[in-house]
Structure 1
Amino acid sequence: MASNIIIIAILVVILLVALRGSIKHFKGEGGCCGGGSSSVKEPDKKLSGTVIKTKVFMIDGMYCENCTNRVKRAINRIDGVSAKLNLKKKQAVVKYEKEVEDDTLIKEIEDLGYKVVSVQ
């Protein structure tokens, strides 16, 4: 009987520690993906030409600053586009100086493990 109580107590402690870490993770405060509060913000990319259009990509699965940095880096590697990410809104605002297919950006984002839920 006493051994059951000890086992239950250990399981409760493990559950509480895991729950605390998960709450921080989903608030964007945890160190998921190697990020966390000490991560460095990815610099903005400057376009050299005239901006011809702007689109907003809604992205599911970004939980911390490191997640947004990964997505921003991937988009900014594409010639002719520049992205600014908003973690709270879970979106990437992409400016175009030349025509680039949405599928190209979606593939880059989803190859990182995130899900593009809409493009506006």
Structure 2
Amino acid sequence: MKENNKESEKMGTYIICGILVIVVIAALLGSKKHFKGEGGCCGGGGDVKIKPKHLDTIVATKKLHIEGMSCVNCQNRIENALNGMAQVNAKASFKKGEAIVKLGADVPEEELCEAVEKLGYKVTSIELM
């Protein structure tokens, strides 16, 4: 009888450990994009903020409407991506879900969208200001 109880306890321990392993694996797989720095929310700092460039001439100002920004870190990632482009001065707002982009040259809208969307956000529209 005692041996049967010990075997039951062992089996219960194995089942609990198995469930815990499955939960940990599922959590890691769900967080894979986050660990790579991809996805809609970056989850934290560490990035050096790229300052907007001074543009001698502004040929256009555009407002990008962006879905998926949920925090200041998201906002900073989008600003860094846009301000890293030549002839672009950008200021994003996660609260408004937009980025105001001043262009010093004719930069194709597709390039602006690509810079934002490769971070995991979605440009829903672009408005000329």
Please classify the TM superposition score into its range, dividing by the shorter chain length.
0.5 to 0.7
From the superposition, tell whether residues 113 and 53 of structure 1 become closer, same or farther in structure 2 (CA, over 3 Å).
same
Distance in 2 between the 1:116 and 1:75 partners? 13
For structure 2, list consecutive stretches of 5 or more residues without a partner in the other structure: 1-40
- 1:100 to 2:128 alignment: no
CA RMSD in angstroms comes to 2.0
Aligned AA for 2:113?
Answer: I
- Paired residue secondary structure (1:33): coil
Aligned AA for 2:121?
Answer: Y
User: Which of 99, 102, 126 pairs up with 1:119?
Assistant: 126
Please say which of residues 43-52 and 56-65 is displaced more in the overlay.
43-52
TM-score of the two chains, using structure 2 as the length reference:
0.61
Distance in 2 between the 1:63 and 1:52 partners? 30
User: Which of 71, 74, 85 pairs up with 2:78?
Assistant: 71
User: Which of 76, 79, 83 pairs up with 2:90?
Assistant: 83
2:26 corresponds in structure 1 to none
Residues 6-85 of structure 1: matches in 2 within 5 Å? 33-35=42-44, 42=49, 44-85=51-92
Distance in 1 between the 2:98 and 2:55 partners? 23
Contact 1:47 1:97 (8 Å CA) reproduced: no
Q: CA deviation at 1:53?
A: 1.1
Q: What percentage of aligned pairs have identical amino acids?
A: 40
For structure 1, list consecutive stretches of 5 or more residues without a partner in the other structure: 1-31
From the superposition, tell whether residues 84 and 41 of structure 1 become closer, same or farther in structure 2 (CA, over 3 Å).
farther
Q: CA deviation at 1:41?
A: 8.9
Matched positions, count: 87
- Paired residue secondary structure (1:57): strand
Tell me which stretches of 4 or more aligned residues in structure 1 moved more than 3 Å: 38-44
From the superposition, tell whether residues 73 and 103 of structure 1 become closer, same or farther in structure 2 (CA, over 3 Å).
same
